[in-house]
Structure 1
Amino acid sequence: MTARHRGRSILLTSGLAIALAAVVLPFYWVVVAATHSSHEIFDNPPPLLPGGHLAANLRTLQETAQFGRVLLNSLLIAVVYTLCAGVVCTLAGYGFAKFRFRGREALFGLLMLGLVIPAQVTLVPLFQMMAELHWLNTYQAVIMPNLALPFGIFLMRQAMAALPDELLDAGRIDGCGELRLFWKVVLPPMRPALAALTIFLFLYQWNDFIWPLIVLRDSASLTIPVALASLQGLDDTDYGAILAGTAAAAIPMALVFLALQRQFVSGLLAGAVKE
């Protein structure tokens, strides 16, 4: 039995090592390629160790795409969107989970249709709406349309459905108003779900490409995905600068995940162990 367990352990460790390498190596190569020129990136064999072209790539990135301003644009849009959409999704999830009203199930079913309808279907009517509101080339045009994100509402609704109704009834008996009940009683147990929602919303907005490409026209107001795509030319493309921008754009995402990973992991493990 000892030899069998040892063999299983070795097999499991080998499989995890291969999976880890498959995930980490592409990120490692992006970081390494960001330190090389475009010519060096396409050498055969490709470079596997850092080079000395990072400063030149970053300088090119700043000169051609105003990367500092673009980074601030993306941070501002992603942070404001995450905060606003988090409030909307949490309140909507609470309403669907804990309030009984006529047509609740039908309304929730219509909302869930947003998970299966392609986002491209809504681009034209949303663009017309933004044009009528004179919001084109503004940050609110990027932020507002997707505040009530169906997946975010579904996530919070499922998390809050597990909250005992007796806990809420006890708070109401003690004289809590609905807002205070929501803030003091409902939100504290929801920290793992809120962490997962925050990560999802931030990454969703940070990586969004199509909608900012449509509504943002001024080069000084672009987001990172749109600005990096604009560096691809018909005749010449500076892949070193693009990969340097890609590596820099991954840093805020990693910081958000590291800041919330404990709550996020605890949320994934909630209920995994039977008491």
Structure 2
Amino acid sequence: MKSKNFLFTIIIYVFLVTMFIISVFPFYWMIVGMTNSAVDVIKGKMTFGDQLIHNFITLNTSYNLGRILLNSIKISGLTVIGTLIVASMAAYGFEIYSSKRREIVYGIILLTMMVPLAALMVPLFRLIVELKLLNTHAGVILPSIASVFIIFFFRQSFKSFPKEIIEAARVDGASEIRTFFSIVVPSMKSTYAAAAIFSFTTSWNSYLWPLIVLQTDNQKTMTLLISNLSSAYFPEYGVIMTAIVIATLPTLIIFFALQKYFVQGMTGAVKQ
């Protein structure tokens, strides 16, 4: 019996180690690739090289890395702020205020999640052109703020929020805005952290919509830069790997900074 348990334990550990290696290998190859030349990457060299500084300088001087990185940070940061405010207030309204048509309206909003972005490209593009937001960061940010999934996510979390606290605040004379920002928001830090991670990752990795709206190099984002590098006639794979690593770092920083609240937010935990 003990031998069977020992064999089963060995199989489990071998499986876990194998899955770990498979999961980590792409990141290892990406980091190794940024230190090698394009020829070494094509050959499949799996050891660190001496081309890191050269690749970084080439990326920075040839493609204005600093400006593009700031563009991505600006777009993603403003998108996260706008999404958290708009989506949480919308979800709060749907959950707290009851009416005969509430669930019908909410259901219609949820149905829009089934419409693919490609089907909305033409009307969205015409709207952006009419608003004179073409080739501006606002044209990328505004359509991304009203995230239906984030509204749904917040409403599910608000269902566990004690309604008695809101009623007590109303009795004390607090306005709805003050109640929301002074009581509700501080009590749901974990939910906001989880939503911020999802919103930031989605905005940071967005490719199709920025590709349509942003038409000059000064306005482009990291995803567009990596796409341009990959589509070159002679791709510099070392430079591409460097750009990918740099583009990955902000997402990792955001996740590790907010990971304390992430699991609680995904389970809908509310600080009482």
| Fold shared by both chains (TM-score > 0.5) | yes
Give me the whole-angstrom Cα distance separating, in 1, the residues matched to 2:160 and 2:66: 44
TM-score (norm. length: structure 2): 0.92
Indicate if the aligned counterparts of 1:65 and 1:231 stay in contact, CA closer than 8 A.
Answer: no
- From 125, 128, 153, give the equivalent of 2:126: 128
TM-score (norm. length: structure 1): 0.91
Q: What amino acid does structure 1 have at the position aligned with 2:248?
A: A
189-198 vs 227-236, which moves further? 227-236
CA RMSD of aligned residues (A): 1.9
Indicate if the aligned counterparts of 2:72 and 2:222 stay in contact, CA closer than 8 A.
Answer: yes
Give me the whole-angstrom Cα distance separating, in 2, the residues matched to 1:143 and 1:208: 11
1:30 counterpart residue number: 30
Alignment of 1:246 onto 2:233 = no
Give me the whole-angstrom Cα distance separating, in 2, the residues matched to 1:234 and 1:61: 14
51-60 vs 217-226, which moves further? 51-60
1:235 counterpart residue number: 233
Q: How much identity, in percent, do the aligned residues show?
A: 33
1:150 counterpart residue number: 148
2:179 counterpart residue number: 181
Deviation of the 1:5 alpha carbon:
5.9
Unaligned regions of 5+ residues in structure 2, if any?
A: none
Aligned length: 269
CA shift in 2, pair 1:116/1:37, >3 Å: same
Unaligned regions of 5+ residues in structure 1, if any?
A: none
61-70 vs 135-144, which moves further? 61-70
1:94 counterpart residue number: 92
Indicate if the aligned counterparts of 1:38 and 1:240 stay in contact, CA closer than 8 A.
Answer: yes
Deviation of the 1:269 alpha carbon:
5.4
CA shift in 2, pair 1:270/1:142, >3 Å: closer
CA shift in 2, pair 1:91/1:266, >3 Å: same
Indicate if the aligned counterparts of 1:212 and 1:222 stay in contact, CA closer than 8 A.
Answer: yes
Alignment partner of 2:229: what SS?
Answer: coil
Indicate if the aligned counterparts of 2:37 and 2:237 stay in contact, CA closer than 8 A.
Answer: yes
Alignment of 1:257 onto 2:245 = no
1:17 counterpart residue number: 17
Indicate if the aligned counterparts of 2:156 and 2:268 stay in contact, CA closer than 8 A.
Answer: no
Q: What amino acid does structure 2 have at the position aligned with 1:32?
A: V
1:113 counterpart residue number: 111
1:233-255, Cα deviation, whole Å (9 max, x unpaired): 45311111111100011111100
Indicate if the aligned counterparts of 2:191 and 2:265 stay in contact, CA closer than 8 A.
Answer: yes
Alignment partner of 2:29: what SS?
Answer: helix
For 1:77-92, what aligned pairs fall within 5 Å after superposition?
77-92=75-90
Indicate if the aligned counterparts of 1:32 and 1:49 stay in contact, CA closer than 8 A.
Answer: yes
Alignment partner of 1:231: what SS?
Answer: helix
Deviation of the 1:114 alpha carbon:
2.4
2:165 counterpart residue number: 167
